[in-house]
Structure 1
Amino acid sequence: MTAMTLCLDRPGFLPRLSSHHQSRPRLSEPLLASVARVRLICAPAGSGKSALLTECLLQAPVACEVRWLPMAGATLSVGEFCQRLTQALGLAEYVDESGLIATLAHWSTPTWLFIDDYARLPDPALDALLDRLLAVSSPALIWWIGTRRRPQCNWPRLLLGDELYECESTTLALTQHEIAGALRHLAPEQAGHVATRIVQRTGGWCAGVRMALLQKCDWSQSIQPQQRVDTLLDYLQHELFSSLTPELTEAWRVLAHLPRFNAELCEHLLGAGEGALHLRTLHALGCFIEPWNDSPHWLQIFAPLARVMREEQWPSARSWHRRACQWFSAEQDWRSAFEQALLAEEYETAVSLLQHFNFEHLFEEQTVVLLLRLHECHSEELTLSTPQLIGLITAALLFAGRFEQAAHCIGQLSRFMPQPSAQQEKQLIARWQMLQGWLMHLQGQMAPAREYFRQALEELAVDAWPARLLCLSGQTQQALLCGDLELAHGINREALCLARAQGSLLFEGLLELDHAQVLEQRGAPARAENLLLSIEQLLSHRAERPTPLLGRIALRRGRLALYMGREQQAADFFCKGIEDCLRSHDKRVLYGYLGQAQLAANRMDYAQAFERLREAERVMQQRQIPDTVYRGALLQLSSQFWLQQGRPQLAQEALSRVLRHYQPPEALQAPPATVELIPRIQYLLILAKAYMHCEEDLLGQLEPLLKQAQSGGALTLEAELHFALAEVASLQQQPFRLIEHRELGCRIVQRANLDGVRHQFSLLPSNFFPEEKEVSLASSESFECASVLSRREQQVLELVALGDSNRQIAEKLFLSLHTVKTHVRRIYTKLAVERRTHAVAKARLLGFKL
């Protein structure tokens, strides 16, 4: 509701907007532009319906009369409604229903009639009257209706006649940009960050956002102040529960404690014949019930409200969760049954349900979090009572980056030796080898991990295909870390064929992430992006949202977008990936923060870049993740930023320290998600030495890295190394080498769509990329170059630039091979160069068109 004020240029009292009102032109402009004579805004309490109607009212045409009818949700009789409507329209005397219908049918004065907060409780007689009035009223009268429930009118008829415009309830939520606009007292960057936290906590619900702003943005904090909770509960008591019967209030509270529900579950919980009716009634009354994950079959209570209700003490909640567990078990929805058993504190039941789980369940919503919670809160006798349970708990711990606990769990498998048969014993050992291999792999110990994966694959039975797929994925990542892209691609294809043969879309998605990493290394980010988009679309059709998998896909797509220079797209992906990874306790959330830091550095906002790195470190430490997982990546990116800022001493010290961990005698491998980490550390360290004017042969140190990248087909890394060579050549006053490697790097960038790589190196101090003025100066020397070389020598040089050999040039120009060699030697002499690439670079520098 909005306050009322006397409007001098219009008759009667009209609403006014709050001083804190945040306009929503994205909603008001389509409403104002619509030609429909009925404009309906149906949404739950606190959605900002009245404010939106008022915003439109204040923009009414001057020649149009404006009438405001506030109903405050009251259910009026037909006679009372006619009387209130007569008064609102300014009619001289009261008219009954038939007279009102006749009056509206012949209405000629352009008028906007606003009905604010239409009757909240169903009343067939009142709805029927409204339906008749809407059907016969004159086009001169525009109806604006704000309501919590959808009246029982003939909306399809109005819609088909292009006479109805309905504002979707979900669009009423405030966006991050709109909330940030209300935080004028904060700096823009801080306002955006706080607005993001408020959106995450409130879903943009207008009343929730208003409470956050009134209480100095406490909703943006991770700790919820009791004052805010009390305010919200008091709001719900007056705006929701006061209009419901005790039975409906109890039903709503039960539903708020469930992550999802449907009519069948309501029938089981609330009583046969009553549960589905209660659900329909609550839905019709606009009680914050919405689709769950866009599902056509499942519903949920609006998440921010459900979260607050679950945090309140409610003694009877356990019994409802127990009954929900029974229903989900009967439906063989084991993950949901397991979750409800945990909420009911029926831990033995929860453990018994885990016998139905396999590794695929780890990719489903909250499974890892639930397993970790169970393991942390209860004894090993309960959670590690079978080899299958040990496998699940260990996989969850590895996923979350808790390697010490994972090693302890793996050791517990020895309690189950010997097995009843030799075959069973072999399978148990093979599963132990798979888990031990992944532990070694994630800890950076490549040699033992490789051997464990090999041995496990030799023994794992056909029906142990999930374990086989995990071994193959580990081998793919190890091949990537070794720079053997062909081997990585071959192993990945084998794994994908097995996953598809088993019909496992979740494992297929996991393996496509490895495939995308292969394509990324080969310099095909666009192909990798299309691949991940396709698998994400397939995964989105699943009833259960695979949050852990989608989070990793979002982070990888953000990285690819960053490579291609699509920074806004990358920012969106990183934000989404961080949200999903935090929810599922995935250690790879690190790469979302690293991506955000890189985006900030690209804007030269180094304060924000280092803040993102500090946040990444804080989250890693908070989640008890070993520093071997994140320290190298953090220091590598920090050093890159220090070099861009002109602080090579800091970079040299940090890079030298971290590189020791990846060289003998320790010789750890890089984390699997950053297969290019070690060569990047190496070339950044060489750049730092170049900035410090080191006397070493730095170009010679970079050449082996370039050859290794070229031999492995790592096109993205090859482009980076060409630019690194150009940077060092620039610092060492070697213009020919600079031009040669800059040109080679730029060709890769153009061919592979790696604009982000070029931009990253343009931020370095020398910025060796030519600007327009440099090109114009060079072009002034083109005549000089043309006059130095004969016409035949120019023809030979053009073919040299195309990459032709001397023999190919001889064939194309109908010359002898000896003559071509003579021309090439003369070109070298005239341009003062010694190599073909130097000749081409020098000619281009002088402006020669090749």
Structure 2
Amino acid sequence: MTAMTPCLDRRGFLPRLSSHHQSRTRLSAPLLESVARVRLVCAPAGSGKSALLAECLFQAPPACEVRWLPLAGATLSPADFCQRLAQTLGLPERVDEARLIATLARWAEPTWLFIDDYCRLPDPALDALLDRLLAVSSPALTWWIGTRRRPQCNWPRLLLDDELYESESATLALSQDEIACALTHLTAEQAHSVAGRIVQRTGGWCAGVRMALLQKCDWTQSLQPQQRVDTLLDYLQHELFSSLTPELAEAWRVLAHLPRFNAELCEHLFGAGEGAQLLRTLQTLGCFIEPWHESAEWLQVFPPLAQVMREEQWPASRSWHRRACQFFTVGKDWRSAFEQALLAEEFEVAVSLLQHFSFEHLFEEQTVVLLLQLHEQQGEELILSSPQLVGLFTGALLFAGRFEQAEQCIAHMTRFLPQPSAQSERQLIARWQAQQGWLLHLQGQMQPAQEHFQQALAELAPETWPTRLLCLSGLTQQAFLRGELDVAQAFNRQALCLARAHDSLVFEGLLELDHAHLLEQRGASARAEALLSNMDELLREHTVRLTPLHGRIALLRGRLALNQGLDERAAALFQSGLNDCLRSHDKRVLYGYLGQAQLAANQRDFELAFNRLRAAERLMQQRQIPDTVYRGVLLQVSSHFWLQQQRQDLACEALSRVLRHYQGAQAVQAPPATVLLIPRIEYLLILARAAGSPMDAEHLAQLQRRMNQAQSSAMNALHTELQLVIAELLWLAGRKDEADKALRQGLRLAADFQCRQALQELSLRRAEMLQTVALPSAHHADFENSASLPLLSQRELKVLKLIALGYSNQQIADEMFISLHTVKTHARRINVKLCVERRTQAVAKAKLLGLLS
């Protein structure tokens, strides 16, 4: 609720906005533009409802009267409510319901009536009165209602009559840009970075953001100040717990300690016939309960608040986690049961549940993190008691980049020899070879890894198809690194067919990542993006969130967007992928930092670029990931930046040192996710040596040979980069005519194969070089159009076309045989991609861009 102050140009007392108020035009504009007679803002405490209503009030038309009725959430009898309403509207003091209804029905003066913080506790009689008042009031009277709970009124009728506009609770959260505007004491870049951390820790919840800003928290540190936590707990005590019964408060605290819950789980925890009712009551009271990852069934407590509650010491939590474990075990939700067993500190139970796990479980939620914790806390005799457990923990350790521990884990396979039969023994050895092959592959030892993969494939039985898929994926990645794209495509196709035959969505997603890498090398970034967008959409329909897989997809999509010059989209994808990979301890988090560094360098903010690289190196070292995973690519990207800064000596020294690591008798292969690492190190080293010295003919010949190999292998992205480097080398040598011809060819390739980032990097090194050559108009138009069109998936396009035909969400769901929830998700993503707020705006912009033709 806001403070009150007299207003000279309006009658009565009106709300006063804080001096720190941040205008939310994206919310107030649609409310003000709406022609609906009732405008409802329903959200939990601290969401900024009162401030939003006040912001709208001060923009009321001059000819419109405004009335502000602050109720402070109090419970009122229908008679008291009538009196308060009459007093606010300037009616006689004693007015009964019948007279009030008659007066409102005849109301003629344009008036906006604001009811701030409507009754917080369920009150059927009061809600019924409000419903009657809304039903009969004159169109001249516009109702603005701010409330923590949705009153039991006939909202569907108002909605169908186009008389209701409702702001969804989630939209009230402050965005990163809105928070950054309040950080006026920081530079724009610092404000954006700090605002991002505030959003990450508060979810944009207005009260949480305000606490952070008031206490001037040092958001550059990883730990939250205790003062902020105490303030937040004190706020919850007054705004939430004080209005709950002890039973409800205890239930809310239990739910805050659970990652997700539904009515059935509440029945198990709090008693049959009572648990579901407790949950409904908490939802009705606006107790920060929201859908879990957009699920239609599962719920969660608002994560920032849940995190604070979990950090508090609460010995009773173990017994609740034990009961939750029982529930998930009965339902055969093994991952959730395992997580609850760990939280209950029932480690033997947790290990026994792992017998139901497969490799695919590693990509669910934080399974890897939980397995790593168990590996650190318990002895090997308990956790490595079967070949299946050895394989599971090996997969988790390899995923997190802990190669030394993975090697020790794999060695435990020998404990299970000999097997009862020759066939069983061959299968066990084949599984060992597959695990050993992946360890060697990730360590850069290509030849022995390849032999292990091939030997394992020759022995593995059909029922061990997951292990076969892993071997095929390893062979696919090795073919990439050798530049044999046709071989890689054949392995990938074989693996995809096998994954789909066994209806494995997780493996299909992993293999489509390999497929997208292939398309990227072919110079088809847009096709790769469409492929991954569709895959990501399909994975989101999975009952459990596949966080690690979503993270990897987001990172690759970020790089594809960067290739196409879509820096803003790339930034969002890199941040999303970075967050997911950090949560799941994926070693590929490295590529989120690299992407952010490249985006910073594109803006010539080299200080931020190198800060991102240092942050990546620090994290790799903290997590004890071998430097073979990250050292080479960090030095290569650093050298790229040094060349852009004209610091050739630094680049030459670093590149010479790292190239020796990938050449000679003891050479290792590049990390699997860096297909072009070695060719890029080679051509960057040539550029570093060429600056300020006569051109070496052998260098030009070396680049030409590399380019010919890339062209013959249809590695079009590398072909384009090398063509531009040859042009730069000729330009540095003063051979202007040859440089001009080579550059024009490179520009054509960049347009054909969507290599906008390669042009950007050339521009950063040699801006004056590009000023002399213009891209041919036909190629220029194609290049600009391909980079600017929003990339909607096929499903999103179909939804958009049905929206354009006037279909309702329910009609679209029926037409496409999908759920209403999925339709809403598609519509929301369409709006985000097209940068619009409403359906009509989305259709208009799509027509303008030619997406509906």
- Secondary structure (helix, strand or coil) at the match of 1:142 reads strand
Shift of 1:240: 0.6
1:347 corresponds in structure 2 to 347
In the TM superposition, 1:461-610 aligns within 5 A as 461-610=461-610
In the TM superposition, 1:162-173 aligns within 5 A as 162-173=162-173
2:678 matches 1:668: no
- Secondary structure (helix, strand or coil) at the match of 2:185 reads coil
1:186 corresponds in structure 2 to 186
Distance in 2 (alpha carbons) for counterparts of 1:173 and 1:357: 38
Contact in 2 for aligned 1:394/1:435 (Cα 8 Å): yes
Distance in 2 (alpha carbons) for counterparts of 1:406 and 1:775: 54
Letter in 2 for 1:725: I
Letter in 2 for 1:759: Q
Shift of 1:765: 2.9
Distance in 2 (alpha carbons) for counterparts of 1:772 and 1:666: 44
2:682 matches 1:682: yes
Letter in 2 for 1:159: L
Contact in 1 for aligned 2:740/2:773 (Cα 8 Å): no
Larger CA deviation: 725-734 vs 87-96? 87-96
In the TM superposition, 1:245-394 aligns within 5 A as 245-394=245-394
The CA deviation string for residues 785-841 of structure 1, in whole angstroms up to 9 with x for no partner, is: xxxxxxxxxxxxxxxxxxxxxxxxxxxxxxxxxxxxxxxxxxxxxxxxxxxxxxxxx
Q: Please, which runs of 5 or more residues in structure 2 have no aligned partner?
A: 778-853
2:60 matches 1:57: no
2:33 corresponds in structure 1 to 33
Shift of 1:140: 1.2
In the TM superposition, 1:66-85 aligns within 5 A as 66-85=66-85
Distance in 2 (alpha carbons) for counterparts of 1:772 and 1:496: 44
Distance in 2 (alpha carbons) for counterparts of 1:361 and 1:676: 31
Distance in 2 (alpha carbons) for counterparts of 1:732 and 1:225: 58
Shift of 1:748: 1.4
Distance in 1 (alpha carbons) for counterparts of 2:152 and 2:511: 51
Query: CA 1:92 to 1:219, structure 2 compared with 1: closer, same or farther past 3 Å?
Result: farther
Shift of 1:69: 0.7
Letter in 2 for 1:630: Y
Distance in 1 (alpha carbons) for counterparts of 2:505 and 2:652: 45
- Secondary structure (helix, strand or coil) at the match of 2:587 reads coil
Contact in 2 for aligned 1:4/1:16 (Cα 8 Å): yes
1:97 corresponds in structure 2 to 97
2:47 corresponds in structure 1 to 47
1:715 corresponds in structure 2 to 716
The CA deviation string for residues 440-481 of structure 1, in whole angstroms up to 9 with x for no partner, is: 100111111111111111111111111110000000000000
The CA deviation string for residues 297-350 of structure 1, in whole angstroms up to 9 with x for no partner, is: 111111111111111111110000000000100000000000000000000000
Contact in 1 for aligned 2:747/2:775 (Cα 8 Å): no
Distance in 1 (alpha carbons) for counterparts of 2:234 and 2:283: 21
Shift of 1:768: 2.4
Shift of 1:217: 3.1
Letter in 1 for 2:508: E
2:176 matches 1:176: yes
Distance in 1 (alpha carbons) for counterparts of 2:384 and 2:487: 37
Q: Highest CA radius of gyration, 1 or 2?
A: 1
The CA deviation string for residues 211-259 of structure 1, in whole angstroms up to 9 with x for no partner, is: 1111113466420221111111111111011111111111111111111
1:769 corresponds in structure 2 to 770
Query: CA 1:775 to 1:312, structure 2 compared with 1: closer, same or farther past 3 Å?
Result: closer
Shift of 1:735: 2.3
Shift of 1:159: 1.0
Contact in 1 for aligned 2:267/2:274 (Cα 8 Å): yes
Distance in 2 (alpha carbons) for counterparts of 1:243 and 1:195: 32
2:738 matches 1:737: yes
Larger CA deviation: 612-621 vs 265-274? 612-621
Contact in 1 for aligned 2:260/2:300 (Cα 8 Å): yes
Distance in 2 (alpha carbons) for counterparts of 1:766 and 1:128: 70
Larger CA deviation: 635-644 vs 737-746? 737-746
Letter in 1 for 2:754: N
Shift of 1:744: 2.2
Give RMSD over aligned pairs: 1.4
2:405 corresponds in structure 1 to 405
2:2 matches 1:2: yes
- Secondary structure (helix, strand or coil) at the match of 2:769 reads coil
Shift of 1:770: 4.0
The CA deviation string for residues 547-569 of structure 1, in whole angstroms up to 9 with x for no partner, is: 10110011111111111111111
Contact in 1 for aligned 2:441/2:474 (Cα 8 Å): yes
2:701 matches 1:700: yes
Shift of 1:94: 2.0
The CA deviation string for residues 156-207 of structure 1, in whole angstroms up to 9 with x for no partner, is: 1111111111111110000000000011111110100010011111110000
Contact in 1 for aligned 2:338/2:350 (Cα 8 Å): yes
The CA deviation string for residues 762-783 of structure 1, in whole angstroms up to 9 with x for no partner, is: 211364224479999xxxxxxx
Distance in 2 (alpha carbons) for counterparts of 1:77 and 1:132: 15
Distance in 1 (alpha carbons) for counterparts of 2:271 and 2:233: 27
Distance in 1 (alpha carbons) for counterparts of 2:362 and 2:615: 26
Distance in 2 (alpha carbons) for counterparts of 1:313 and 1:233: 13
Distance in 2 (alpha carbons) for counterparts of 1:109 and 1:34: 19
Contact in 1 for aligned 2:194/2:219 (Cα 8 Å): no
2:819 corresponds in structure 1 to none
Letter in 2 for 1:253: R
Distance in 2 (alpha carbons) for counterparts of 1:628 and 1:220: 29
Distance in 1 (alpha carbons) for counterparts of 2:178 and 2:588: 31
- Secondary structure (helix, strand or coil) at the match of 2:146 reads strand
Contact in 2 for aligned 1:195/1:220 (Cα 8 Å): no
Shift of 1:8: 1.4
Normalised to the residue count of structure 1, the TM-score between the two structures is 0.90
Distance in 2 (alpha carbons) for counterparts of 1:737 and 1:415: 66
Shift of 1:701: 2.5
Shift of 1:431: 0.9
- Secondary structure (helix, strand or coil) at the match of 1:768 reads helix
Larger CA deviation: 89-98 vs 13-22? 89-98
Larger CA deviation: 601-610 vs 88-97? 88-97
Letter in 2 for 1:437: G
Contact in 2 for aligned 1:400/1:587 (Cα 8 Å): yes
Contact in 1 for aligned 2:744/2:775 (Cα 8 Å): no
Contact in 2 for aligned 1:198/1:217 (Cα 8 Å): no
Letter in 2 for 1:35: V
1:847 corresponds in structure 2 to none
Normalised to the residue count of structure 2, the TM-score between the two structures is 0.90
Distance in 1 (alpha carbons) for counterparts of 2:279 and 2:125: 23
- Secondary structure (helix, strand or coil) at the match of 1:94 reads coil
Contact in 2 for aligned 1:727/1:766 (Cα 8 Å): no
Contact in 2 for aligned 1:660/1:666 (Cα 8 Å): no
1:807 corresponds in structure 2 to none
Shift of 1:30: 0.7
Distance in 1 (alpha carbons) for counterparts of 2:91 and 2:665: 94
2:148 matches 1:152: no
The CA deviation string for residues 112-134 of structure 1, in whole angstroms up to 9 with x for no partner, is: 11110000001111111111111
Larger CA deviation: 421-430 vs 178-187? 421-430
1:434 corresponds in structure 2 to 434
2:805 corresponds in structure 1 to none
Distance in 1 (alpha carbons) for counterparts of 2:503 and 2:234: 50
Distance in 1 (alpha carbons) for counterparts of 2:651 and 2:232: 50
Query: CA 1:773 to 1:444, structure 2 compared with 1: closer, same or farther past 3 Å?
Result: closer
Query: CA 1:251 to 1:219, structure 2 compared with 1: closer, same or farther past 3 Å?
Result: farther
Shift of 1:737: 2.6
Query: CA 1:346 to 1:167, structure 2 compared with 1: closer, same or farther past 3 Å?
Result: same
Shift of 1:694: 4.9
Shift of 1:743: 2.3
Shift of 1:31: 0.6
Larger CA deviation: 634-643 vs 686-695? 686-695
2:818 corresponds in structure 1 to none
